[in-house]
Structures are given as structure tokens and as C-alpha cells.
Structure 1
Amino acid sequence: MKVTVIGGSGHIGSFLVPRLVRAGHDVTVISRGSRKPYSEAPEWQDVHQVTADREAEDRDGTFGDRVAALKPDAVVDLVCFTLESAASLVQSLRGEVGHLLHCGSVWRYGQSLKLPIREGSDSAAEPFGEYGVQKNRIALMLKEETARGGLATTSLHPGHIVGPGWHPIGPLGNLDPAVWQTISAGQPLRVPGSGAELMHHVHADDVAQAFEKAIAQREAAAGEDFNIVAPTALTVRGYADIAAAWFGHAAVLETVTWDRFREDTTRDYAESSWGHLYRSQCFSIEKAASVLGYAPRYEPEQAIFEAVEWLVDHGQLHVARPLGVPAG
């Protein structure tokens, strides 16, 4: 098939695009052209590159027509964040393209009520925050579009994406590199809340696998939405214990109030921590496994170790002791 990937040089696209080329698809990537893929692969030599500023072209009302003019069989949209942008693309592709696949987010759900969270259930509260609210609105619009006989659409909702080349969401639910310095040195790590809060990561290549399978099974995937995460989720305490073991010792944790935690870090890091830990999410992948054959290769700690190791090896994360080999 002819497959167009919007935002193909980012986290997911770095793994998805080579997968699609290996599967025999004719692949075009639309991006701003300002960043190379996170992982090098020979398959990129066979990819058609189109440079475009989506935000500017969305404002002009021309982006959807640009995509439709490529005459793809399937479009994978990895960088759509507003309902207006998504609806504009759908309008341009309706009747022109066979399948639109949208990258959503598990933050389309609010805080967990029952675990695991399943698609279409009462497992989670309503989403909050502009990002999560928009992702949920997009997913609902796409489902309705297909249900009423319009464009065939599918939305896939990854957890906290992990991979070599960027910082993972850490044990405190934020991107603060000082957390890794503290853990590696065996120093006390101040943990807000109970420490039992959950985070559900996923390796970027597992997300790419899910998109590849959904493209290959359009009839089964059309009109559906899927949680795409690792087989298991991590608690704050479990995450810290696993990470500390990579540096040869046990985690030293100090439980503090949220007010105290906010005093000791930046506003952005504190808000990120609260956003992840308040949601305390764990997801079922039963639907993706049964409908698409989704079979994630990475447990969350394996994916996180790979990311941390890459950052340390490339001088982008400084730790107090060398990384060891993860158990298992």
C-alpha cells in the first residue's frame, strides 16, 4: 500500500517507518524536516520525504488537501493534538483515502476508578487538562465518523512512550534528570503520595508494531480504539526499587506531602508528577491483542533501561554509578 506518515521522524515514526518499508509498503513521511529519526535504519533511503509546517497549513486550511494529493491508501497521523485539526484532515480525506489511523494518548482517560482500564468502560473518570480532553474528543469524533459510514478510522492510545534517544518518564512521574542522580547515588528520594500510584509505559517500537498491525487489518480495526501499552504497569515504589537495583543497591525512599514535594522541585516537574500520579493508570491490552494480534516485546522496565542506558552512553544523563545489567 501507499502509506503516508505525518510526523514520521518522531518517537513512534522512527520505528514505524522502517517497519512499513520492510513490510513492502510505499512510504511517504510528512514532517517539518527539522529533526532526524531517533534511530538510524537503511530503510529510510527508500522513504519519500515531504517538508511541511502543519500548524501553519492548518491555519490556512491547506494541510488536509496536501495529504490527500499524495493519494495514499492509508494515513498515519502521529502529531494531531486538537479536534479542529483532526476534523479538518478527516474532511479532506473522506472519499479519497481508505484508512486514517490517529495516535491518541492514554490521557484521554482521567484518574483510574477500576483497574485495568478498558476501552469503552467505566474504568476511568472523565479526562482533564487540555491535552487529554482534546485527545478524547478526537477519538470520539473518529469513532462517530466511521460509525456513520464516513472515513474508515482507527485511534491507538499509547502509554508513556519510552525508547532510546529521549528521557523516559521517571519514577516520580516527571522528566527531572536529578531523580536518576539521586537513585544512582543511593540517596533518599522524596516521594509524594503513597508510592503505590501507577504509571503505564510502552516502548516506541511496540507502539509502531500496533500501528503496523492496524494498517494490515483495516476491516478489523476500522471504527475502533485501542490501548497500546506494555504488558504491565509500574508503581512508584516498584519503579524506584527496580531502577536502584541497576546501580547495585536498594532504593531509599522518603514519603513527603505534595506541598513539601512542590517546595523541592520546579513547578513544571511538580505538575508533571501530579498529572501522572493522580491519574494512577493501568490499562488492559486485551482488545488490541485479540483484534490486532498486538504482542508487546518489552516489559516497562526493559524499555526504560534501554532508554536510560542510551542517555548515559551518549552523555545526556549523568549518574553516580555505572549501570548494571537489569534482572530478567
Structure 2
Amino acid sequence: MRIVVIGGSGHIGTFLVPRLVRAGHDVVNISRGTSTAYADAPEWAEVRQVVADRERQDAEGVFGATVRDLEPDVVVDLVCFTLASATALVEALRGTGAHLIHCGSIWRYGKSRKVPIDESGSGAEAPLDEYGIQKDRIARMLKEETANGGLVTTSIHPGHIVGPGWHPIGPLGNLDPDVWTAIADGKPLQVPGSGAETMHHVHADDLAQAFQLAAEHRDAAAGEDFNIVAPTALSVRGYADIAAAWFGRTANLEPVSWDEFRASTTAEHAQVSWGHLDRSQCFSIEKAKARLGYAPAYEPEQAVLESLRWLIDNGRLEVPHRLKV
């Protein structure tokens, strides 16, 4: 198939594009041309690169035509964040016979009510921010589009993406490098809340697997939405304990109130922690396993460890002790 990937030079595309080439597909990558994949792979030499500024072309009303004129069998949209942008692409592709696969987010769900949360959404409250609201609206629009006999669509909703090349969401639900320093050194780590709050990661290659499966199983994926995460989720306490053991340490956790935590860190780190831990999400992947054959290779801690090792080895994260695993 000819598969057009929009935004294929980022986290997901780093793993997805080479996967699709190895599977024998004709791959076209649309990007602004300002960045390259996080990891090099020989398969990129076989990928056609198309430079396009989506934001500008959306404003001009021509981005959909840019994609349509490439005559795709499948379009994988990794960088769509508003209902208006998604709707414009659907309208441009309608009637072409293409299959549109949209990258959503677990942020389409709000605080957890009943876990694991499945695609019905009954296990979670409404989305909490504009990003999540837009992702939820896009997913609903796509499902309705296919149900009404229009464009064949699928939406895939990843957890917290982890992999070599970027910082993982850490044990406190944020990107603060000082958290890793404290864990590696066995120093006290202030933990807001109960410590039982959960986060659900996914390795970027497992996520890429899901996009490939959706592309190659059109009938099973048509009109569906899928939560794509690791087989298990990590609690704050469990995550910290596991991470400390990587450095030959035991987690030294100090329970504090959220007010105390906010006073001990930056407003940005506190806000990101609250966003992850207040939701306290854990998701089901049974639908993706049953309909697509999704089989994640990484437990969440394995994915985080791979990411952490890459950061340390490449001088992107300094810790006082070496990993012992």
C-alpha cells in the first residue's frame, strides 16, 4: 500500500516509518522538513519526503489537497490537534477510498472512575483540558464519519510515550530531572498524594506496531478507536521502587500534601505532576488485542529503562551513580 504519514519524523514516526518500509509498503512522509527521526535507520532512504507546513496550509485551506494528491491508500495522521483540522482532512479524502488513521491521546479521558478504562469512556470523567477535549471530539467525529458511510477512519489513543531520544514521564508524573537525581542517590523524594496514583506508559515501537496493524487490518479497524498502552500501569510508589533498584538503591519516599509539593518545585513541574496523577489512569488493551492482534513487547518499566539509559549514555541526563542493570 501507499501509506502517507503526516509528521513521521517525531517520536512515533521514528519507529513507525521503518516498520512500514520493512513490511513492503510505499511510504511518504509529510513534514515541515525541520527535524529528523530520533534514531537513524536504513529504511529512511526508501521514504519519499514531502515538505509542507500543515498549520499554514490548513489556514489556506489546501492541506487536505496536498495529502489527497499523493493518492494514498492509507493516511496516518500523527500531528492533528483540532477538530477543524481533522474535519478538513476528512472532507478532502472522502470518496478517495483511503483509510485515515488518526493519532489521538488518552487525554481524551479525564479522571479515572473505574479501571481499566476501555474505549467506551464509561470508566473516566470528561476530558480536563482543551487538548483532551479536541482529541475526544476528533475521535467522535471520525467514528461518526465511518458509521454514516463516509471515509474509513480509525483513531488510536496512546498512553505516555516512552523510548530512546526523549525524557519519559517520571515517577512523580513530570519531567523534572531532579527526580532521577534523588532516586539514583537514595535521597528523600517528596511524593504528593497517596503514592497509589497510576500512570500508563507505552513504548513508541509498541505504539508503532498498533498503527501498522490498523493499516494492515482495515476491516477490523474501520470506524474503531483503540487505547494503546503497555500491558500494565505503574503506581507512583511502584515506579519509584523499581527505578531506585536500577541504581542499587531503595526508594526513600516522603509523603507530602499537594501544597507542600507545589512549594518545593517549579509551577510547571507541579502542574504536569497534577495533570498525570490527578487523572490516575489505567487502560484496557483488550479491544486492540482482540481486533488487531496487538501484542506489546514492553512492560512500562522496560520502556522507561531503555529511555533512561539512552539519556544517560548520550549526556542528556546526569545522575550521581551509574545504572546497575
TM-score by length of 2: 0.99
1:39-78 maps to which residues of 2 (within 5 A)?
39-78=39-78
Q: Secondary structure at the match of 1:180?
A: helix
Name the structure 2 match of 1:236.
236
8 Å Cα contact 1:71-1:97 kept in structure 2 = no
Report what 1:208 is aligned to: 208
The answer on whether the counterparts of 1:197 and 1:277 sit within 8 Å (CA) in structure 2 is yes
> 1:312 — aligned with what?
312
Q: What is the rounded CA distance, in whole Å, between the counterparts of 1:144 and 1:245 in structure 2?
A: 47
| Runs of 5+ unmatched residues, structure 2 | none
Shift of 1:268: 1.2
Task: Identify which range, 260-269 or 209-218, moves more after superposition.
Answer: 260-269
Please list the CA deviations of residues 37-56 of structure 1 after superposition, one character each: whole Å capped at 9, or x if unmatched.
Answer: 01111000000001111111
> Per-residue deviation at 1:134?
0.6
Deviating 4+ runs (over 3 angstroms): none
Distance in structure 1 (CA, Å) of the matches to 2:182 and 2:57: 44
- C-alpha separation in 2, matches of 1:187 and 1:293: 43
The residue type equivalent to 2:132 in the other structure is G
Q: Which residue of 2 aligns with 1:283?
A: 283
Give 1:121 deviation, angstroms. 4.3
Offset of residue 264 of structure 1: 1.2
Query: In structure 2, what residue type is equivalent to 1:11?
Result: H
* Contact in 1 for aligned 2:109/2:121 (Cα 8 Å): no
CA distance in structure 2 between the aligned counterparts of 1:97 and 1:66, rounded to whole angstroms: 16
- Provide the C-alpha distance between the structure 1 equivalents of 2:54 and 2:177, rounded to a whole number of angstroms: 31
Give the alignment of 1:68-217 within 5 angstroms.
68-217=68-217
Q: Is the 8 A contact 2:77 2:103 kept in 1?
A: yes
Query: Deviation of residue 214 (structure 1)?
Result: 0.5
SS of 1:12's equivalent in the other structure is helix
Equivalent pair of 2:185/2:249 in contact (CA under 8 Å): no
CA–CA separation in structure 2 for the residues paired with 1:55 and 1:242: 41
Deviation of the 1:187 alpha carbon? 0.4
Number of the residue aligned with 2:247: 247
Residue pair 1:183, 1:251 contacting (<8 A) in 2 also: yes
Cα distance in 1, alignment partners of residues 188 and 10 from structure 2:
35
* Contact in 1 for aligned 2:196/2:235 (Cα 8 Å): yes
In the alignment, the residues of structure 1 paired with residue 34 and residue 260 of structure 2 have an alpha-carbon distance, to the nearest angstrom, of: 40
Partner of 2:33: 33
Q: Name which of structure 1's ranges 219-228 and 93-102 shifts more when overlaid on structure 2.
A: 93-102
Contact 2:200 2:300 survives alignment (8 Å): yes
Q: Deviations over 1:191-219 (max 9, x none)?
A: 11000000000000000000000100001
Query: Does the 8 Å CA contact 1:68/1:97 hold for their aligned counterparts?
Result: no
My pick for the range that moved more, 189-198 or 95-104, is: 95-104
CA contact (8 A) 2:183 2:249 kept: no
Quote the offset at 1:154 in angstroms: 0.2
**How far apart in 2 are the matches of 1:234 and 1:24?**
36
User: Is the Cα–Cα contact under 8 Å of residues 201 and 233 in structure 2 kept in the other structure?
Assistant: yes
Alpha-carbon contact 1:142-1:154 (below 8 Å) kept: yes
Structure-2 separation of matches of 1:63 and 1:98: 16
The answer on whether the counterparts of 1:168 and 1:307 sit within 8 Å (CA) in structure 2 is yes
Identical pairs, percent: 69
Q: Deviation per CA, 1:226-252, whole angstroms, max 9, x where unpaired?
A: 010000000000000000000001000
- Residue deviations 1:292-315 (CA, integer Å, cap 9, x gap): 000000000000000000000000
What is the aligned residue count? 325
RMSD (CA atoms): 0.6
Instruction: Give the Cα separation in 2 of the matches to 1:81 and 1:264.
Output: 33
Q: Render the CA deviation track for 1:116-146: whole Å, top value 9, x for unaligned.
A: 0011141111111011111000000000000
